[in-house]
Amino acid sequence: GSSPVTTQVPHAVGVALAAKLKKEELVTFVSFGEGSSNQGDFHEGANFAGVHKLPVILFCENNKYAISVPLSKQLACERVSDRAKGYGMPGVTVDGTDPIAVYVAVKEARERALRGEGPTLIEAEVERLVPHSSDDDDKAYRSAEELAELKHRDGNQLFRARLIEDGIATAEELASIESAVDAEVNEATTYADKAPYASPESTLDHVYEGEM
């Protein structure tokens, strides 16, 4: 977990470079928001990955807002995936509320990376269903109509309906999965709340190789 956004992109690209040098069969997958794709770390990482044809999947969740900043104030091009061309890699946009479409795009990107053809930028279009955080009031910058539309674009609900409609799962089976997941999340939250703070000395763990 990391609070600074997009610092993970250069890390993922570095791990992909190490895998290529060591001739390991490995593809790194890194995700970030569309707001984060405006920061330098994304562009430096994408460029390096493109130049060196590294096995990395850059996965952007485009929910059209960076806190209160709408997409129109973030991008001068139409889509986040348009940026891929500048870094010599394919860029694809998929409906992020459709897990099957996302699976297909990621599978293709992985196979491409394993063939040594380099990185792929995937943009998954989703919705931000709630305010950015508990301190944020989205009614200050999103219209009532826009917020009302969101209830039709909840990927979890759409996929749930599709599984039932296609006869893949029953409402009862899905309810039992949901309660198992709720229990797991509650258990993990309690565990985290009760966990001791990390020792100050652990700050340097994984920063330098070997003993300090």
Provide the greatest CA pair distance for the chain: 58
**Three-state SS for 210?**
coil
Active-site residue (options: 43, 52, 110, 132): 132
Q: Which of 28, 63, 81, 120 binds Mg ion (CB under 5 A)?
A: 63
Give the pairing of strands 120-125 and 91-95: parallel
Q: Which of 16, 19, 66, 126 binds ligand TPP (CB under 6 A)?
A: 66
Distances 174 to 118, 160, 164, 177 between C-alpha atoms, Å: 38, 8, 9, 5
Residue 118 binds Mg ion, judged by CB under 5 A: no
Is 103 in the active site? no
Is 132 in the active site? yes
Which residues have a Cβ under 8 Å from the Cβ of 173 and sit 6 or more positions away? none
Under 8 Å between Cβ of 7 and 33: no
Is 128 in the active site? yes
Residue 96 binds ligand TPP, judged by CB under 6 A: no
**Residues 129 to 168 in contact with ligand TPP, rule: CB under 6 A:** 132
Choice between 40 and 116, CB closer to ligand TPP: 40
Active-site residue (options: 52, 128, 153, 162): 128
Active-site residue (options: 11, 141, 153, 160): 141
Which residues have a Cβ under 8 Å from the Cβ of 16 and sit 6 or more positions away? 26, 27, 28, 49, 54, 55, 56, 119
Shortest distance in whole angstroms from residue 187 CB to Mg ion: 29
Q: How far apart are CA 197 and CA 170, in angstroms?
A: 43
125 binds, among Mg ion, ligand TPP, none (CB under 5 to 8 A by kind): none
Site string for Mg ion, 27-46 (x = CB under 5 A): ------xxx-----------
Choice between 39 and 162, CB closer to ligand TPP: 39
Under 8 Å between Cβ of 8 and 32: yes
Shortest distance in whole angstroms from residue 71 CB to ligand TPP: 9
Instruction: Supply 8's token pair.
Output: 């993970």
Residue 34 binds ligand TPP, judged by CB under 6 A: yes
**Three-state SS for 95?**
strand
| Residues identified as active-site | 128, 132, 141
Binding site for Mg ion (CB under 5 A): 33-35, 63, 65
Binding site for ligand TPP (CB under 6 A): 3-5, 32-36, 63, 65-67, 128, 132
